[in-house]
Amino acid sequence: MTLDAAVADRDTPTFVRTVGLVAGREITSRLRSKAFLVSTAVLMLGVLASVILPSVLGGDDDTRIAVVGGAAAATDGVSGLDPVAVADRAEGEAMLRDGDVHAVVVPSDGPGVGLTVIGLDATPGSVVSALSIAPAVEVLEPAAVDSTLARLVAFGFGIVFFMSALTFGTTIASSVVEEKQTRIVEILLSTVSARALLTGKIVGNSLMALGQIVAIAVLALLGLAATGERVLLGGLGPSIAWFAIFFVVGFIMLAALYAGTASMVSRVEDVGTTTTPVTMLVMIPYFLVVFFFDDPTVLTIMSYVPFSSPVGMPVRVFLGETEWWEPILSLAILLATTAAAVLIGERIYRNSLLRMGSRVKLGEALGR
């Protein structure tokens, strides 16, 4: 190898380094955008308020409970509880079934163990949280997750997926068209490959989207911990973890499609005409989970369809309707679909990026 060739080889950036540079540029440009920072702050405050306000606004009324024997001493004077003494457990359970009390508190069978809190169809979280000790819990007639809570969780996953995917997806699309319209892309492609440029955009925006999701999850969990919602906190943990995993993979799929379809036009004004189908793939899961959160059949189908599984599967995990292997199988399907979407998006992007003027037809973009 000659000296000139060695120098040229040394100065040529590797694929990984190029991707890192492009990703860093995407992240920096987002962090410098006041509109992005303001919208993110508003979203964070909205999440925190939605967790804390229900507890604050609903915390004025004491929870009426029936207490048996020695349990009266442990519940008397506890803030948030209105204890009513009953003769025995049977009388307390009768009042619970009649709706006269929210829960029954009885001494535990074991000597010196503590208390047992009895609920009707679900764990009485407000009572458990109010007690200074960790009591045992019993449920007389176990039922599915409270419908109001299920709706809130489904809406939460749906709106976070919708807002984050739409925000960062359209950001990628706008970036692609702006570079093409200003012909900066011609300069970029003289030093980096189209594949590295696309990969960097996807990686950078995926990291930003993941960061936003993690921040939302941390705020929600901190809010639940601050309001004493220990029962709900334990139930949400696994579903939030699965949501983060599914979101990252699903967003990579959508990001590749946003970039590919956006590269088919040469003006920012026209980007909506080609990215509308991808935007619909973002919107449909949100509307489905909001309107059919209580329909097991629809949720099951959603949890295996790649474009809706990032919302459908975490909701089913929260509701306790999944076997241990179902999230893994759904994630495998999503990974395979994402790999195919990335290949298709990259091909459209590479074949359309330097074509100026009128909109590139899909067949031409795919290289047929």
What is the β-pairing status of strands 63-68 and 115-119?
Answer: unpaired
Region of 53 on the Ramachandran plot (φ > 0 left; ψ -120 to 50 alpha; else beta): alpha
d(CA 242, CA 318): 10
Confidence of residue 245 (pLDDT cuts 50, 70, 90): very high
Residue type for 198, please?
L
pLDDT in tens, 90-100: 888 888 888 88
Which tokens is 52 given? 């804390």
Which tokens is 19 given? 């991707």
d(CA 167, CA 171): 6
pLDDT in tens, 295-348: 889 999 999 999 999 999 999 998 888 899 999 999 999 999 999 999 999 999
User: Which of 120-134, 146-160, 248-262 has the weakest average pLDDT?
Assistant: 120-134
Q: What pLDDT shows up at residue 233?
A: 56
| 323 secondary structure, DSSP code | -
pLDDT in tens, 274-289: 999 999 999 999 899 8
Domains of the chain by residue range = 15-53+146-365, 63-139
Which tokens is 342 given? 């990335």
Q: What pLDDT shows up at residue 146?
A: 60
> Does residue 155 surpass a pLDDT of 90?
no
Average pLDDT value for the chain: 82
* CB neighbour list of residue 278: distance below 8 Å, 6 or more residues apart: 169, 254, 257, 258, 261
User: Pseudo-torsion of CA 189, 190, 195, 201, nearest 10°?
Assistant: -50
Phi and psi at 105, nearest 5°, equal -115, 125
Q: What pLDDT shows up at residue 203?
A: 94
pTM: 0.74
pLDDT in tens, 183-240: 888 888 888 889 999 999 999 999 998 888 888 888 877 776 666 555 555 567 788 8
Residues in the chain: 368
CB count within 10 Å of CB 84 equals 15
Q: Counting Cβ atoms within 10 Å, is residue 156 exposed (0-12), middle (13-18) or buried (19+)?
A: buried
Strand order in the sheet with 115-119: 81-86, 63-68, 103-107, 115-119, 136-139
Helix (H) or strand (E) holding 112: none
| 322 secondary structure, DSSP code | -
